[in-house]
Amino acid sequence: MVRTKTLDDDLGAKINALKTSHIFRGLASGEIKELALSAASVRYPKGSYLFNDGDSAEFFYLAQEGLIKLHKESYSGKSVTFIIASLGDTLNASALSIKKHFLSAQAITDAKVLRIPQKAYWAFVSKHPTIAIEILSLTAQGLDTEYNRIVDLIGEEVELRVVHSLLALANKFGPNLMLKREELANYAGTTTETAIRVLSKLRKKGIINSAGRGAIAISNLANLQNYKR
């Protein structure tokens, strides 16, 4: 029966998708299957929002395709990007115990995610305490990252912050970043103009190439790593 077959394929795809996440790595396919059964694959067009800061968290999200920006706006309207999520990244793993999203999620390219109702997610984690530890580990790492970002924000000048942002992004996405200058600026916590000025300086030093609109190519990673002024 054709219909059954496609459904099975679908389930298999979901199981594989779940396995791309660190937090489910330790489990056997059989175990994951239970969770996959309540998962839905959903597409979001570029620019659209998956959820907003402050919304009640109804689903657990796992990125499958595209880039999703996790960000938040200040009272005065300035947007800060915390995470750019891609394949295998959870968008709100720690929302387990928290009722509200504390960031907004916006697709910056066309994107696809796996979406699981909180209740099913919670039940699954309760049944597999190992996963709770994985989530904790992930959340703690995130906390460490933010501590470092704050230290940077307070103690270092913008130039270095932009460099650090580039390094963090390159570490995750490789040396060819498909990001607008504005995205980089939001990530580094500065303005587009200032980010561009830093990039111009880096270009003159041969550390990056202008790779056209919406792209930044790091050509000399080593020099970026021990960058001084």
Partner DNA sequence: CGTCTAATTGAGATGTGTCAAGCGGTGTGG
Partner DNA sequence: CCACACCGCTTGACACATCTCAATTAGACG
By CB under 8 A, name the binding residues for a second copy.
Answer: 72-78, 80, 82, 94-98, 102-103, 126, 129, 132-133, 135-137, 139-144, 146-156, 189
Residue 190 contacts DNA per CB under 7 A: yes
Task: Select 139 or 191, whichever has its Cβ closest to DNA.
Answer: 191
CA gyration radius for the chain?
A: 19
Q: Which of 119, 84, 128 is nearest to 105 (CA)?
A: 84
Helix (H, G, I), strand (E, B) or coil at 136: helix
Residue 176 contacts DNA per CB under 7 A: no
CA dist 142 and 139 (Å) reads 5
Task: Select 89 or 183, whichever has its Cβ closest to DNA.
Answer: 183
Helix (H, G, I), strand (E, B) or coil at 42: strand
User: Site for DNA (CB under 7 A): which residue of 109, 191, 219, 220?
Assistant: 191
Task: Select 14 or 71, whichever has its Cβ closest to a second copy.
Answer: 71
Give me the long-range contacts of 199-207 (CB less than 8 A, separation at least 24).
199/162, 201/159, 202/163
Q: How far is the CB of 227 from DNA (least distance, A)?
A: 14
Q: Under a CB-based contact definition with an 8 Å cutoff, are residues 104 and 51 in contact?
A: yes
Q: How far is the CB of 223 from DNA (least distance, A)?
A: 18
Say which entry of DNA, a second copy, none residue 43 contacts (CB below 5 to 8 A, set by partner kind).
Answer: none
Task: Select 93 or 199, whichever has its Cβ closest to DNA.
Answer: 199
CA dist 114 and 22 (Å) reads 15
Dump strand ranges (E) for the chain. Answer: 40-44, 49-51, 59-65, 68-73, 79-85, 104-107, 111-117, 176-177, 208-210, 216-218
Q: How far is the CB of 160 from DNA (least distance, A)?
A: 8
Residue 193 contacts DNA per CB under 7 A: yes
Stretch that binds DNA, among 83-91, 144-152, 155-163, 218-226 (CB under 7 A): 155-163
* Degrees to nearest 5, angle at CA 89 with 155 and 106: 75
Say which entry of DNA, a second copy, none residue 223 contacts (CB below 5 to 8 A, set by partner kind).
Answer: none
The pair phi, psi for residue 12, each rounded to 5°, is -60, -40
Question: Which residues are near DNA by CB under 7 A?
Answer: 157-159, 180-182, 189-194, 196-197, 199-200, 210, 212-214
